[in-house]
Structure 1
Amino acid sequence: MATVLLLADWRGSTERRAKSMEMNSVWKAFDLMLLTFLISFLVAVTNSVSAQVNTMTNLSCFTHSIKDLIMTTWEILLRDRAPCIIAYREDKNETKETNCSGEGITWESRPEWNHKLQIDPVTVDNDGYYKCIFVTPAGNFQTVHHLTVLVPPVVTLSEEGNRTVECKAVAGKPAAQISWVPKGDCFTVNETHHNRTVTVKSTCTWKGFNGSSATCFISHLTGNKNVSIEHQSHSK
């Protein structure tokens, strides 16, 4: 009889331990799910920004107030380059950089005062992703900027003879759009260069056109232009 009771107690204890382990496992899974939710909630800010070449631009970091800051880090991911990392530690009042030489990228002011990143001047090579991370005891706060560099095209217009005119938007980024007044028999070709700028060439012919001029309209994110050519005087 005692043996039966001991066996029953052992089975009951085993079942309780199994249930306890099961509950612990459930809570661990819940904690992991909660942690994942919190991380995804904190790392939530992504922006698309643009800047014109040969200007200065500032990229802001997390905009809310941060308490007990441990470290601020900018991670810069550019095309065909190793990641550039600029980090500031609050406890040591120390700044370090890795793989950032020659990029023209610095803090806007002292990092403990202002966490904005400054690029001066902006070049085509600055196209990429800029990730700012605030490290705090409560978690990490992250902001990501996707920077697109804009390059205004150089516009040329020339008469090729036989009432044929060629309009070029040279080395723009992104590619320009070209249209004509009056409309003629036109064809357009794009040429992409190694630095990702694009030259757009549009050639038009007007047969039976009695007007004296043709106008090329260039549309671009950096500003629109139009140029005209006089057929009779060949003046632009």
Structure 2
Amino acid sequence: MSFLQTMSLVVCLVLFISVVTAVSVLRGETAILECEHKVPTRDSIIMITWKVRRLDNTHCYYSKAENKKFSNCSDRTEFNSTSLRIYNATVTDDGTYTCEIVTAEGTFINQISLQVLVEPSVTLLLNKLGVPECRAHGGNPAANMWWTAEAVGSISTNTAMQPDRSWTVTSTYTVTSNNVTQVTCLVSHPTFAQPQNHSISIPPNKGDKYLLLSMIPLAFLVILIIIGFLLFWTMSPRFRTCLSKEIKNTTVTQQDNNDQNKEDVEPYACYTQRINTIYNSVSEI
């Protein structure tokens, strides 16, 4: 065998053929993942390996070579020849499943993206503020949501993951016109044959009510500022009067202290004067 023939054989043996597919299954059903490449006979398989990486970053691994097997996957997972079965599929099974088959013809890699579908529960109601609120709860993947109305309004949408890894989408439609009497929320999801639409009526003058509710905090703050200013203005003359009296009392107290000190010093001055007089008289004698 020539050198080129040998190299060609080596290249064929290490040839990698990769295929990427997507599989969806409803929650609670059995997910069947198949390697796309079928080998002529099972005897030609040298080794088969499944590598599982879920969206929550957990991993499991299955390998079979001759009569040796290794697996650290859950009990709901079963391996049959080149297929992988997941019983009672849940949202936590979402992830990437990679199948590697090594045969005499080469290595075949099949990457499968598994998504477990969960139908969301859709509701439309007026929230505590009287604003239309549309909610798609507990779905996987997250639902798509949009509004139709007689006039343009302000839309706010929030998407949150629940503890069970399902999704809840909440959208509110704030009416900015008095002419709007009804709004419609439309929700699409892979589990729906067609988008669901839910409508709700808005009582008259709701737009004014929403505006009034939004202005209440600002009005309350303005009232507090005005009350504080009036209190300060009212108490200001009294404060100045009290301050003036305090200064006057302080001046009177200081004057009284000076008079007292003067009285205390005067006897000593008289005594000194008498001593000096006696001294002068003695000197003259």
Normalising by structure 2, we get a TM-score of 0.57
**Structure 2 counterpart of 1:193, from 144, 152, 162:** 162
Distance 2:137 2:129 in 1: 24
For this pair of structures, how many residues does the alignment match?
193
Aligned equivalent of 2:131: 164
Aligned equivalent of 2:18: 44
The answer to whether 1:106 aligns with 2:82 is no
User: Which structure has more RCO (C-alpha within 8 Å, separation ≥ 6)?
Assistant: 1
Identity %: 31
Cα distance, 1:126 vs. partner?
0.9
| Cα deviation code 1:61-117 (max 9, x no counterpart) | 14433342334332222243232315363xx4x7x3421134x2113xxx35xx321
The answer to whether 1:177 aligns with 2:144 is yes
One-letter amino acid matched to 1:59: L
Aligned equivalent of 1:222: 191
Aligned equivalent of 1:76: 52
Distance 1:131 1:160, change over 3 A: closer
Distance 2:133 2:65 in 1: 54
**Structure 1 counterpart of 2:31, from 57, 62, 73:** 57
Cα distance, 1:203 vs. partner?
0.9
- The CA RMSD measured in Å over matched residues stands at 3.1
Determine if contact 1:62/1:134 at 8 Å carries over to the other structure. Answer: no
Distance 1:100 1:161 in 2: 47
**Structure 2 counterpart of 1:127, from 94, 97, 103:** 94
Aligned equivalent of 2:171: 202
Q: Which has a greater percent of strand?
A: 1
Distance 1:231 1:187 in 2: 18
Aligned equivalent of 2:223: none
Cα distance, 1:186 vs. partner?
1.9
One-letter amino acid matched to 2:106: G
Counterpart of 1:74 in 2: which secondary structure? strand
Q: Which runs of 5+ in 2 are unaligned?
A: 204-285
Cα distance, 1:202 vs. partner?
0.9
Cα distance, 1:167 vs. partner?
0.6
Counterpart of 1:175 in 2: which secondary structure? coil
Distance 1:210 1:44 in 2: 55
One-letter amino acid matched to 2:168: T
Q: Which has a greater percent of helix?
A: 2
Larger Cα Rg: Structure 1 or Structure 2?
Answer: 2
Q: Which runs of 5+ in 1 are unaligned?
A: 1-23
Distance 1:77 1:191, change over 3 A: closer
Determine if contact 1:55/1:122 at 8 Å carries over to the other structure. Answer: yes
Distance 1:36 1:138, change over 3 A: closer
